[in-house]
């Protein structure tokens, strides 16, 4: 019961406190067009490498599945 009262008091205190949010109107990092262009190129490189990685993963899964199927269908003596 004591912990419920303490948690209720904490919740009430936090709910009534003003939020100290960051000011999003002014940019403190002063990042201009070149910074965003560089980050965009980095993102483009990462996205471009997802296609070959996906194809490689699909090929590996198909290879494992085919080898298991061939092992099951192989006659045992």
Per-residue pLDDT of the chain (77 residues; tens, 9 = 90+): 677 777 887 777 767 766 666 656 666 667 788 988 999 999 999 999 999 999 999 999 999 999 888 888 877 65
Q: Where are the domains of the chain?
A: 31-77
CA distances from 46 to 1, 72, 74, 75 (A): 53, 39, 42, 46
One DSSP character per residue, the chain reads: -HHHHHHHHHHHHHHHSPP-PPP-SS-TT---HHHHHHHHHHHHHHHHTHHHHHHHHHHHHHHHHHHHHHHHHSPP-
């Amino acid at each position: 019961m004591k912990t419920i009262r303490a948690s209720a008091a904490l919740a009430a205190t936090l709910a009534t406190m003003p939020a100290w949010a960051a000011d999003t109107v002014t940019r403190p990092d002063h990042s201009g067009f070149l910074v965003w262009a560089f980050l965009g190129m980095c993102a483009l490189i990462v996205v471009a490498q997802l296609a070959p990685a996906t194809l490689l993963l699909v090929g590996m899964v198909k290879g494992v599945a085919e080898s298991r199927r061939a092992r099951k269908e192989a006659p045992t003596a």
